[in-house]
């Protein structure tokens, strides 16, 4: 939990510095986060490459690895469907579209805004950001009570990048490959599933 709070603290610090613009203009206007992501993926790759146990996990789960992103899709859509029953301003289809973002807030919120409207787009943005933050904070508890795949399921599409450090820390390096695989599959499916759901609204 301590690691999660440290990560959240850095996020909040960055948010405050960005809002107050108490940083050089070059840093504020440049897209440095993508380079940080490249570096993160490079370091994760090194970690996986040097850890033989990571490859053993893939051999053990083989075809079962496909069940991880599939379970995330089914679980996310069932979850938002259940929640939509208690929401008077959001119908079943709209809730499904928001849930189909799978944590990929930057893309899903833009697509929903474009195809359905700004209000639902903002809801999608906030919902998926909260999903990511919740994963960063609660993965230690998820892993303890629900198993090593719980953090990957919670992270959704972000399991391949922003939430991977916390997932690897508490599930183990051997689960990094599964996290990357699940995250890639979900990232690819977001621009397919979201418009498909919105088409029927």
* Three-state DSSP state, 161: coil
The pLDDT value given to residue 129:
87
Domain ranges in the chain are 1-30, 56-199
The pLDDT value given to residue 109:
83
Rounded CA-CA distance 72/78 in Å is 10
* Three-state DSSP state, 200: coil
What would the two tokens of residue 12 be?
A: 């909040």
- Other C-beta atoms within 10 Å of 60: how many? 10
DSSP 159: G
Chunked mean pLDDT (size 10), the chain, 201 residues: 62 78 70 64 67 60 81 95 90 94 85 86 88 92 95 93 90 88 88 90 70
Q: What is the 3-state secondary structure (H, E, C) of 35-94?
A: HHHHHHHHHHHHHHHHCHHHHHHHHHHHHHHHHHHHHHHHHHHHHHHHHHCCCCCCCHHH
Residue 186 and residue 155 in contact, taking contact as beta carbons nearer than 8 Å: no
Rounded CA-CA distance 193/97 in Å is 8
Rounded CA-CA distance 39/37 in Å is 5
The CA-CA-CA angle for residues 62, 68, 73, to 5°, reads 145
């Amino acid at each position: 939990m301590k690691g999660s709070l440290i990560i959240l603290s850095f996020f909040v610090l960055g948010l405050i510095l960005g809002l107050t613009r108490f940083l050089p203009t070059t840093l504020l206007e440049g897209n440095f986060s993508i380079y940080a992501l490249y570096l993160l993926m490079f370091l994760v790759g090194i970690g996986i490459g040097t850890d033989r146990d990571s490859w053993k996990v893939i051999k053990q789960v083989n075809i079962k690895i496909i069940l991880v992103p599939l379970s995330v899709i089914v679980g996310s859509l069932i979850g938002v469907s259940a929640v939509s029953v208690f929401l008077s301003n959001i119908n079943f289809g709209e809730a499904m579209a928001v849930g189909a973002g799978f944590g990929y807030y930057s893309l899903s919120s833009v697509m929903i805004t474009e195809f359905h409207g700004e209000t639902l787009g903002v809801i999608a943005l906030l919902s998926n950001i909260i999903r990511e933050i919740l994963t960063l904070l609660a993965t230690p508890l998820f892993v303890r009570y629900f198993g090593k795949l719980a953090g990957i399921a919670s992270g959704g599409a972000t399991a391949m990048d922003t939430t991977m450090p916390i997932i690897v820390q508490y599930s183990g390096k051997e689960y990094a490959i599964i996290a990357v695989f699940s995250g890639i599959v979900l990232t690819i499916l977001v621009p397919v599933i979201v418009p498909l759901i919105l088409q029927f609204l």
